[in-house]
């Protein structure tokens, strides 16, 4: 009875407790063991009660076995649910970690991309570029440091331009006096000259003219970098190029260099005509300087889109500023070309290439002609780049043009020197 009480105190399943209850009932109904000599009916009744008690005991065992199986199954189900929950929690944690990493990466990547883009623009001389401080404290501090650096560069550039302009002006004034005095002597105002004196004065005048051209370039670059006002009007690039070619005809004829023009006709664009003439003049002067005697210079014009100029620098303009149509100007010579290492430097201030033409060192200037071209093109929101042709070098310029152009029935044929305007006629 004490064992049954201990068994009943356990945590049992309903089926187990029901089987135990039946067993206790049978146990309580079990009659006393018949004494020897008692009637057979008492013996049969006792045997029947023992069998019922035996069956109740087996029922307890069966219920216990079933309970064990149920508990094991529930434990297995719980383990599986726990495993699924653990995997779900792990997947959720991994997803949240990945999301947090992505958000953090985006928070770092965006300001870094802005800094990288701004750095490329500053490397092209756009010192008015600033970045918006954003991101973590370190990135905000980096943005402030970048803006301070660019502001210092802008101030340094302004001071340099001011110094160049001042020095050039101060040198130009006495140089003009020297040139005028030299011309007066050559005109024999003070008196007659010997042949040797005339030769020396002519050489002196040529040197003074070269120095004057250099000082003019210095003044032009200083004014351009200082941000002069451009007079933007609708101009025909074809007419401007023809005018420049006419001005270079005499020099090209002296060097036996053929000038060629390939143009579809008028190309209208909003620009400063004076500065565009300076641009085309500098490009032609550079080409003529490096073209050997008997060579040729081909100038080509055409309408283009961004996709038509795959060699254009990728960082020259932000996509939102790009125009749908451009005028593409190419000046190609038949000279020795540009050393590969110098292709990225030809537009730098004071850059001079070490190139020989016709077996002699090419005539050098101060190294500002192409730098001036760079400033003019940048002010017109265009692009300029250099590449090597076969033979020679090619300089290309993209300039935004008007969407509406004068329709041409057919492209104009290639023109040679004899068909170009002479002098400075438009």
pLDDT tens, per residue, the chain with 426 residues:
556 666 666 666 677 667 767 776 766 666 666 666 666 676 676 777 777 767 777 777 777 777 777 778 888 888 888 989 999 999 999 999 988 888 877 777 777 888 888 887 787 667 777 888 877 778 888 888 988 898 888 888 777 777 777 777 777 778 888 888 888 888 888 888 888 888 898 888 888 887 887 787 777 777 777 667 788 899 999 999 999 999 999 889 988 999 999 998 899 999 999 999 999 999 999 999 889 999 999 999 998 876 666 566 655 544 445 567 889 999 999 988 888 888 878 888 777 766 555 555 555 566 788 888 988 998 888 888 998 887 889 999 989 887 655 444 344 445 555 455 554 433
Top CATH class, 233-419: alpha beta
Top CATH class, 124-228: mainly alpha
Q: Which residue in 273, 400, 289, 277 sits closest to 346, CA to CA? A: 289
Give bridge partners of residue 387 from the DSSP assignment: 394
- What pTM did the predictor assign? 0.58
Q: How high is the pLDDT of residue 329? A: 93
Q: How high is the pLDDT of residue 410? A: 41
In the Cβ-directed half-sphere of 407, how many Cα atoms lie within 13 Å?
1
Considering Cα of 284, then 288, then 290, then 291, what sign does the dihedral take?
Answer: positive
The answer to whether 22 and 59 have CB atoms below 8 angstroms apart is yes
Q: How high is the pLDDT of residue 301? A: 93
Domain boundaries, the chain: 2-84, 124-228, 233-419
The whole-angstrom separation of Cα 30 and Cα 219 is 129
Q: How high is the pLDDT of residue 422? A: 52
Long-range contacts of 362-370 (CB under 8 A, 24+ apart): 362/289, 362/290, 363/289, 365/210, 365/213, 365/214, 365/217, 366/214, 366/217, 366/218, 368/214, 368/217, 368/218, 368/220, 368/221, 369/217, 369/282, 369/285, 369/286, 370/282, 370/286, 370/346, 370/395
Q: How high is the pLDDT of residue 424? A: 40
φ, ψ of residue 230 to 5 degrees: the values are -100, 135
């Amino acid at each position: 009875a004490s064992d049954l009480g201990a068994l009943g105190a356990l945590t049992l399943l309903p089926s187990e407790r029901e089987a135990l209850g039946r067993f206790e009932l049978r146990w309580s109904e079990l009659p006393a063991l018949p004494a020897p000599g008692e009637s057979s009916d008492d013996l049969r009744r006792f045997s029947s009660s023992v069998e019922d008690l035996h069956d109740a005991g087996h029922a307890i065992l069966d219920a216990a076995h079933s309970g064990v199986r149920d508990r094991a199954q529930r434990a297995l189900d719980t383990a599986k649910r726990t495993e699924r929950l653990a995997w779900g929690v792990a997947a959720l944690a991994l997803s949240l970690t990945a999301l947090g990493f992505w958000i953090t990466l985006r928070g770092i990547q965006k300001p870094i991309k802005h800094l990288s883009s701004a750095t490329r623009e500053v490397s092209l001389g756009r010192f008015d570029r600033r970045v918006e401080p954003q991101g973590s404290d370190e990135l905000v501090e980096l943005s402030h440091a970048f803006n301070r650096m660019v502001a210092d560069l802008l101030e340094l550039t302004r001071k340099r331009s001011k110094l160049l302009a001042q020095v050039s002006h101060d040198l130009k004034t006495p140089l003009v006096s020297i040139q005028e005095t030299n011309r007066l002597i050559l005109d024999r105002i003070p008196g007659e000259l010997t042949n040797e004196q005339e030769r020396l004065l002519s050489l002196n005048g040529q040197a003074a003219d070269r120095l004057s051209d250099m000082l003019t370039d210095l003044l032009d670059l200083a004014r351009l970098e200082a941000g002069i006002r451009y007079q933007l009007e609708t101009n025909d690039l074809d007419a401007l190029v023809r005018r420049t070619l006419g001005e270079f005809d005499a020099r090209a004829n002296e060097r036996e260099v053929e000038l060629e023009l390939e143009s579809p006709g008028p190309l209208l664009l909003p620009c400063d005509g004076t500065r565009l003439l300076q641009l085309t003049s500098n490009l032609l002067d550079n080409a003529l300087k490096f073209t050997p005697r008997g060579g040729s210079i081909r100038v080509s014009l055409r309408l283009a889109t961004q996709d038509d100029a795959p060699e254009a620098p990728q960082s020259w303009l932000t996509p939102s500023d790009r125009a749908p149509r451009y005028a593409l100007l190419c000046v190609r010579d038949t000279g020795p070309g540009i050393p590969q290492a110098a292709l990225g430097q030809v537009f730098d201030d004071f850059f001079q290439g070490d190139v020989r033409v016709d077996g002699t060192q090419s005539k050098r200037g101060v190294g500002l002609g192409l730098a001036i071209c760079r400033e003019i093109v940048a002010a017109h929101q265009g692009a300029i780049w250099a590449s090597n042709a076969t033979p020679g070098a090619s300089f290309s310029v993209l300039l935004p043009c008007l969407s509406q152009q004068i329709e041409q029935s057919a492209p104009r044929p290639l023109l040679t020197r004899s068909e170009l305007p002479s002098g400075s006629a438009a």
